Amino acid sequence: MKRLSIYFLLIGLLISTSTALYSQEKEKPFGITFYGYVKNDFFYDSRQTVDAREGHLLMWPKAPSFDNKGVDINAHGSFNFLAIQTRLGGKITGPDVLGAKSSGQFEGEFFGHTDADINGFRLRHAIIKLNWAKSEIMTGQFWHPMFTLECFPGTVSFNTGLGFAPFSRNPQIKYTFTAGKVKLMLAAYGERDFSSRNILGIPSSSYLRNSGTPGINFHLDYGNANKEKESALNTGFVANYISIQPELITAFGYQTDQLVHALAGLVYINAKFKPVNIKFACVYAENGSGITIPGGYAVLDKVDPTTLEFSYIPTRAASAWIDISSTGKTWKYGIFAGYTHNLGTSKVIDDIGLFGGLGTNIHHLYRISPRINYYSGNFQIGAEIEYTAAAYGDGTFTPKAIAINPEEVANVRFILGVFYNF
């Protein structure tokens, strides 16, 4: 009888053990995969530039600044060697949640939050995803919804077409619905490291937070790929709305709740064939400082002269860029070209001196940058020549805040980037 009881006990243990193993396999236990790269950048600029992190994040050349003899102080070159873009990330998997596959991702680099914090580790991305058959919910910090992963420049420079293509990372929540080859995306977002600027050009996330409403974004994408022909096509458009409240109190000490409302839009196409990849996009942006496109806002008129409360109107910019690259595995050649034009305000403003933001004294901006990349296993080396010209006015402006008598100044950047991926 004892022997029979032992047999039943052993059978029970085997059944419970196999059931536990099956349950663990079904629940997909937690796991993490690390990735990233070590990167060194070597670059030389022919002119002083508007930039961040000791020139690593290049925007555009600085406006002329003349000494007592009329010599342009900013017509002076500089170089730098930096490794601050070195990056570490992790992709996380876990058990299903609410019938959805759950995952997470984090990513950081030694770029710092400010120039004073250079070499400091900062957060780039930190997201949680829930994926159902046709739907996805993503929450966390990620690329701004105007930065389309389906179509963005492939430059060696860290700026990734900044000034022409939207560039920003934002805390957000995004819903994606997929129906065949079509994706519909709706997002609400805030601002953190990349923030809108006030009329003095000072960035802060408080302007959007004080407005009481997050930025809203809608994105429609169509994608089609053919693995046999090694071809793919993505095309779509993005619409964006944001309002900021740049101040809570007027210069005379009275409460104000005036907002700056702004719209933005983007259309793109990414066509990949076996020998070549062509990307093209057009952007329209009002108050584009939060996505690092020249823009801001102006005082439209005085709501109340007694309290000195103002109403505002955004300045506008339009840009277009194209990126063409080869699709080889060892050697890849490419070229980026972009153009941005200041459209000013849509109405005549009350005082042409009361406006500002990011690059609002630029009439137009353009860039051309050919590049070459070499790949060997985990090793990559890329070289690029970046020519960027900015047309600054003479300090006077039209009634719609557009710079008058613009003259171009240019910077040539020679950059060499060395990567070791893992």
- Specify the pLDDT at position 238: 98
The sign one gets for the Cα dihedral 145, 149, 154, 157 is positive
CB 89 within 8 A of CB 34: yes
pLDDT above 70 coverage of the chain, percent:
93
Residue 27: what pLDDT? Answer: 52
Q: Which residues of the chain have pLDDT under 50?
A: 1-25
Report pLDDT digits (tens) over 39-79.
Answer: 999 999 999 999 999 999 999 999 999 999 999 999 999 99
User: Judging by DSSP bridges, how do beta strands 309-314 and 379-392 pair with one another?
Assistant: unpaired
Query: Rounded distance, CA 144 to CA 186, Å?
Result: 12
Length of the chain: 422
Place of tokens 């500089």: 78
Which residue in this structure is represented by tokens 């039943």?
A: 8
Which of the four CATH numbers 3.40.50.170, 2.40.160.10, 1.10.10.10, 2.30.110.10 does domain 27-421 have?
2.40.160.10
Mean pLDDT (the chain) is 92
Distances (CA, A) of 157 to 133, 161, 386, 387: 37, 8, 8, 12
Note the pLDDT of residue 6: 42
Task: With beta carbons less than 8 A apart as the criterion, state whether 355 and 300 touch.
Answer: no
d(CA 302, CA 1): 98
Domain ranges of the chain: 27-421
Q: Are 184 and 202 in contact (CB under 8 A)?
A: no
